[in-house]
Structure 1
Amino acid sequence: MTATEAPAPPTGAAEPPGAAPPAGDAPRPLGTAFQAEHLALFEPALSAAVHRLPAAVRRVAGYHLGWWDEHERPLFGPDTTDEAASIRPALALLCGEAAGGDAAAALPAAVAVELVHHFTLLHDDIIDGGGTRRRRPAAWTVFGTAQALLTGDSLMVAAMDVLAAGPRDIAPRALHDLAAGLQDLGAGRGAELRLAAAPAPTPDDCREVIAGKTASLLGCACSLGTMFGGGSAGRVRLMRMFGERLGHASHLADDMLGLWGDPRGTGGAVHRDLARRKRSLPVVAALASGTAAGRELAAAFETGAEFSPAVLAHLAGLVERTGARRLAADAAAEHLAAAAACLDAADPPPGPAAALRAVIGRVAARIP
């Protein structure tokens, strides 16, 4: 899934570096995947974890998260968060409840996965040369590459620290699970770099990226939440599979929105991924289709010319004519059906089950 940004700014004055966040000074809501009672738990916990960072990296982390400017002055701009911004920690808390525990018990899982997510975003912006994040300069362009890298590393260590402070019977398993997830994330990032350089990429190359970059972290959110909720090893496995399938579908929805999404809903430019020549699964499937439309698309990509709005609309039509849009939509639907089957097999209590099925519905609703 295309990574979207997390907490919006705190609502009080910035504290001295290293200070604990005052009551009521947590970030604004992350998105509608959260239930109100979960937000009340999660926001202060994430804020506290960030405030425990060393002063230099805390400053960069809060800037990256959108809480303050480069001088730690609180921001009060428009809320630019959306549904996907909240899905990782929301899943962790819901899975804690689905395992028979309560959301508070799963807080370490929710905070850890969100810290890891932002570790990856800080590094991705540097690797990709991305100059903006949340419609303002990316952290590395403001604080320098080295400081942004160190901040990302610090967030990863903070995630481990959060899990290590959990119950003694859970913390070792949770750390092992997170370590496996981090390895998968690294493999997914490597696959993404290979995909960008491949002379003739295939849809399987795209699936490898999705499995490593998006599905692994959502799977980790669900397995960790289930662990902290007291779930059995079998239920942890099922909920990891649930999260992974949900991650595949969510990433495919993002791929489709990048080609055919309404900019009024996505917040991005129309056909934005085509304008960047991004090798998303629908684009790669179209290029590899062997059709006349696919060959025309390939020829356009090879020109290196900047595409006008009219050309972008034509190229989006070419991708659709190859059958790639239907392929992506069908794959997303299959993943969502598999996620639902995993959820049914885990047999959670009715309340958490309904909330998790609602998350499946939200992902389905994002498929254009």
Structure 2
Amino acid sequence: MAKAEEVPGLPARRAALRMLDGVLRRGETLEQNEAAALRGLPASDAGLARAIAAETLRWLVDFDAAVDSATRENLPEDAKPRAVLRLMLAQWLRLDTPPHAVVATALPLLSGGPKRLAHGVFGSLTKRGVELPPSPTLPDPVAERWGERAGAIAAGLAEPPPLDLTLKDASQTAEWAVKLGADSLAPGHLRLSRGQAVHELEGYEDGVWWVQDLAASLPARLLGEGGGKRALDLCAAPGGKTLQLAAQGWDVTALDISAKRLKLLEENLKRTGLLANIIAADAFKWEPEAPFDAILIDAPCTATGTARRHPDVLHRIGPRQIADLSDVQARLTERASGWLAPGGTLVYAVCSLESVEGEAQAAKVVLAPDPIRADELPEGLSPTPDGHLRTDPGMLPEHGGLDGFFVARWRKA
């Protein structure tokens, strides 16, 4: 009989289990766990581990409900059999793995009574033909925070997102849509089906485009053409908005506290042939030499708007993180407002679905509002009554949705 370590596919399941433990027990991101959990795995196994972990987190509440329906007493939240059953259900119900293969690759993660328990529960659920609801059930605290928007948002979380690209030259949108077999929802935007090998797509090596969700591209679009004027991209890394501003003709300064994350921006600037002045510094200590004509604050946030691609945010973000980051956002916006030249434009953006990080922050800004217009946005999106922009994963469902963002704009008198 083969040893557990020799079971094909077991290392990927073990890695997924470690990644989930890091998120649910230690509050870390999936990415923070990847380096250690996936070390030594071939690319195929690493990809499978990521998919299992992500789908487990996406549908965690529903998997737990299924498990609880098949046991006399609910298993403890941190019980290993519950963790393994979550992985098993993710493979069967979301990744279409045959039940016999699920059993063969997951049960070796347990031993003794826990193994028999997990086998029995999984067998009961497969015999009953348990099914998932049309959209994931949100954790109660998340649903409470998102209120009446929760149902629509959850509907947009059912599937991982498609692949969005931003073109360096928006005038070539139609040409590149044909070359890559892509759809386009705005000039300079391309949308492809997920699962594409990015580095192998035509145009990557030539720096024709970069990966960027459509919603993430909207804040920089709202600054328009630069005409050589000075713009500051505050909290710039990893740099998608810096690339946009440079392509739109701004003289861009990209500032971020993380020199490590700015290296990715440097690589993309080199690949695309675009130019920007990169500064690694703490925004609360740095001072510009001269005012800017435009400032884009892509503020540090909870990133709950990226739940389609990072479902770990549904389980590790709570009131403490929201409060801490909202304080940083308020101080950043107040400080940056003083760096704006008369007549200059300030755009504030967060990839968050939390009103505390969006609408509540906008209410504190003392500059003159510059309402966002419907004709500045892709078809199907519209400004709020206050002239802000609020997107969420449930929007544009016929096109594959988009990330959740809040964006607001002001001018300095």
Higher relative contact order (CA 8 A, sep 6+): 1
Task: Select the structure that is richer in strand.
Answer: 2
Task: Select the structure that is richer in helix.
Answer: 1
On whether the aligned pair clears a TM of 0.5, the verdict is no
The TM-score normalised by the length of structure 1 is 0.28
The TM-score normalised by the length of structure 2 is 0.26
